[in-house]
Structure 1
Amino acid sequence: MSVTNTRILIVGAGVIGSIYAVNFSRAGYDVTMFARSKRLAELQKNGLVFYNAKTEKIENANVKIIDTIFNDDAFDYIFVTVRYEQIESALLDIKDNCSQNIVTMVNNPFGYDKWEEIVGKGRIIPAFPGAGGKIENDILYYKLTTRLIQSTTFGELSGERSSRIMQLYNVLKSSGFSASICDNMDAWQKSHLAMVIPMANAIYFDGGNNYTTAQNREAIQNMSLSLRENFEFLKNVGIKITPIKLNVFRLCPIWILNSIFKMIYNTKFAETLISNHAKNASQEMYLLSNDFAELAQKNGAALKYLYLKE
C-alpha cells in the first residue's frame, strides 16, 4: 500500500477528525471527509483550515469534502471520529459501504459486539486518538500527544498483528502520529475511561475550567479518589489494566496525586487536552460516566466517587 494510492475517509468532521485529516493529507494520502450541518457548510465554504504551528501560518489542507457516502466508493481505511453518543448512527451511515477497514476512534465501555452487529464481523479496528485541540472561528488549532502521554492506540479485536494493522501503523507514523499497537483494546478502552472520566468530571464538579479546577481542593481530591476507586474496580473484576503504567492511580498516595494534578491542571497542556474536550463534549462524558457506573454495577461494584449528572 503506497501513499499515492491509499484512500482514507474521515467520518466525523469535529476536532479529532479534522486533526487526522490534516496530517494524513500533509503526508500525501488521498483524504475525504464526510460532514453534516453547520460544519459541512463551513468546510464547503472555506475548506479545512488549520493553524500550522511550525510555520505559524493559517493553511488549508488538501481534503475532499462530501455529504454523501456511496456504497461502491472503496476506501483503504474509514476513520470514525464521532462522539460516543453518535457512534451507532455513524456506523449505520457506512454499514453498506464496500470498505472493509473501519477504525473506530471512540470511547467504549461495553465492548464491540453491538458495533459489529451493525457493520459486520471483522470490519472494526478499535482505536483511540492521540491528539487534542479546538476549532475556533472555523480554524483548527491542535496538538499531537507523545508516546509518553498517549499514542494513537489501536489493534485487532483478536489481538493479532495482522497485515492491515501493520499497514495502519505505517500510515499513522508516516503522518506524524505516535502510534501504538495494543493486543487487548477492550481492556485498554476500559482503563482509558477509568482515567479520563474523573479528569473530565473534575471540571464539571468545579464548574469552571482547568485553571479554576486546579485551585479547587474538593474537585482535585474527588478526582484522585475516583481514579483510585476506578482502577481498583478494574483490578478486582479481572480486567487487565492497560497499559500497566496506569496502575500508578491505584498505588500512588492520594496526597501525591492531588499535588500532581493541581500542577497539571494549571497548564496549557491541560487546557488543550483535558478542559477543551470536557467543555465541548459534556453530553458524551456524562453518558460515559453513567455507562461506566453501569459496567461496575453489572460486576457487583459501586463507584461512590464517580460524579454523575443529576
Structure 2
Amino acid sequence: MEDKVGVLFGEVDGSITDRTKWVASVFETMPGYEGEIRTDMDAWHKTHVALLFPSLGPALYAAGTDNFRFSRTRDLLVLAIRAIREGFQVLHVLDVPIVPVKMKIFEWIPEPLLVLFLRRFITHPAMKIALVGHANAARSEVHHLTDEFLMLARRTSIPTPAIDQLYPCLDPETPLVPEGSKEIPLRWSGLLAWLFGVVILISLLLRLTRRREDDAKEK
C-alpha cells in the first residue's frame, strides 16, 4: 500500500465550507497525498507556533543552527522546553486548546526527562530538513511569527522569562551559546511525584492482572 503524505487544512473559524470540501476533493486526485479537514486549524497553528518559533527556533540559532551542537548544550535544551511550556500557558489563558493532544507531553513530563527526550528528538535524521533546513531558509519568518506570538502573550499576565532570554538569539549578530553549557539547574520538582504515579499505576495493573489470573483458575 502506498504511503501518503497527510496535508492538514481548514477554515480559521472551524467551519466546513464548500471551499474546504473542494480542496479536499483536489487532494483525493493527487497521487501520494491525502487531505485532512480540521475544524481546529487555528488552535493547531497556534500550538505549533508556540512549539517552534519562540522556543526551538531561537535555541537552534543559539547553537549556530547545528542540531547536534544544540543537543549537546543542556542550557539550550532547558530554555527551549521552558519556552514551550510558557507558550502553552499563554494559549491556555487565551482558551486556545493544545492540539494535537500528544503535544501536551511538554506539560506532563518532568523537565529532566524532557531534556533526554528532546536531545534524542532533535538529532533524528528527519530534523535536518524539518528543523535545520527551515531555520536556515526562513529566519525572517521565524522572527516574524515569534513577534506575533509575543503579541498574544502580552494579552496575558503569563511571565515568559525563557522566551525573553531566547529572543535575542533570533538576531544573527547575537553570540552563540557556548557548546556544552549547562549552568541552568534542572527543575527536579514533579519528577518524584511523576515516578510515584508510575509506580502506583504499575502496581494497580499487576494487581488487576493477578486478579484476572485467579478468576481464570477458579473457572
TM-score clears 0.5: yes
Out of 183, 191, 194, the residue aligned to residue 50 of structure 2 is 194
Call closer, same or farther: CA 1:208–1:156 in 2, change over 3 Å.
Answer: closer
Using the TM superposition, give the Cα deviation of residue 236 of structure 1 relative to its aligned residue in structure 2, in angstroms. 2.5
Provide the residue aligned with 1:219 in structure 2. Answer: 76
1:87-114: CA deviation from partner (whole Å, max 9, x where unpaired): xxxxxxxxxxxxxxxxxxxxxxxxxxxx
Structure with the higher fraction of residues in helix conformation = 2
Q: Counterpart of 1:271?
A: 128
Q: Quickly say closer, same or farther: Cα 1:200–1:174, change in 2 above 3 A.
A: farther
Residue 254 to residue 208, structure 1, CA distance change in 2 (3 Å): same
Q: Work out the number of aligned pairs and report it.
A: 163
Bigger shift: 172-181 or 290-299? 172-181
CA offsets 1:53-105 (integer angstroms, 9 cap, x no match)? xxxxxxxxxxxxxxxxxxxxxxxxxxxxxxxxxxxxxxxxxxxxxxxxxxxxx
Greater than 6 Å deviation, 4+ residue runs: none
- Measured in 2, the distance between the counterparts of 1:181 and 1:199 equals 27
Deviations 1:101-143 (A, max 9, x none): xxxxxxxxxxxxxxxxxxxxxxxxxxxxxxxxxxxxxxxxxxx
Q: Equivalent residue for 2:94?
A: 237
Which ranges in structure 2 are unaligned for 5 or more consecutive residues? 172-219
Task: State the shift of 1:145 in Å.
Answer: 8.9
1:177 equivalenced with 2:33 (yes/no): yes
Q: CA deviation at 1:204?
A: 0.9
Q: Which residue of 2 aligns with 1:228?
A: 85
The alpha carbon displacement at 1:242 in A equals 2.1
Shift of 1:244: 2.4
Question: What is the rounded CA distance, in whole Å, between the counterparts of 2:44 and 2:4 in structure 1?
Answer: 17
Task: Tell me what 2:139 maps to.
Answer: 282
Structure 1 unpaired stretches of 5+: 1-143
Equivalent in the alignment of 1:158: 13
- 1:168 lines up with 2:9 in the alignment: no
Task: Say whether the 8 Å CA contact 2:68–2:122 is kept in structure 1.
Answer: yes
Aligned to 2:204: none
From the superposition, tell whether residues 301 and 172 of structure 1 become closer, same or farther in structure 2 (CA, over 3 Å): same
SS of structure 1 residue aligned to 2:144: helix
- Letter of the structure 2 residue corresponding to residue 233 of structure 1: V
The two structures have a TM-score, normalised by structure 2, of 0.67
Aligned equivalents of 2:162, 2:33: Cα separation in 1? 34
Partners of 1:157 and 1:267 in 2: how far apart? 32
Is 1:195–1:227's contact at 8 Å kept on the other side of the alignment? Answer: yes
Which of the pair has more CA radius of gyration? 2
Instruction: Measure the CA separation in 2 of the matches of 1:222 and 1:270.
Output: 19
Considering fraction of residues, name the structure with more strand.
1
SS at match of 1:308: helix
Q: Secondary structure at the match of 2:136?
A: helix
Structure 1 residue 291: deviation in Å? 2.1
Question: Between the two proteins, what is the percent identity of the paired residues?
Answer: 23
Q: Is the 8 A contact 1:187 1:242 kept in 2?
A: yes
The CA distance in 2 between the partners of 1:204 and 1:173, in whole Å, is: 38
Give the 3 Å change call, closer, same or farther, for CA 156–291 of structure 1 in structure 2: closer
The TM-score normalised by the length of structure 1 is 0.48
**1:232–1:250 contact (8 Å) kept in structure 2:** no
Distance 1:208 1:242 in 2: 27
| Amino acid across the alignment from 1:156 | E
Report Cα offsets for 1:221-243 as digits up to 9, x if no partner: 11111111111221133112222
| Aligned-partner Cα distance in 2 for 1:209–1:248 | 24
How does 1:286-297 map onto structure 2 within 5 Å?
286-297=143-154
Which residue does the alignment assign to 1:252? 109
- The alpha-carbon distance between structure 1 residues 217 and 297, as it changes in their structure 2 partners (threshold 3 A), is same
Shift of 1:173: 4.2
Highest RCO, 1 vs 2 (Cα 8 Å, sep ≥ 6): 2
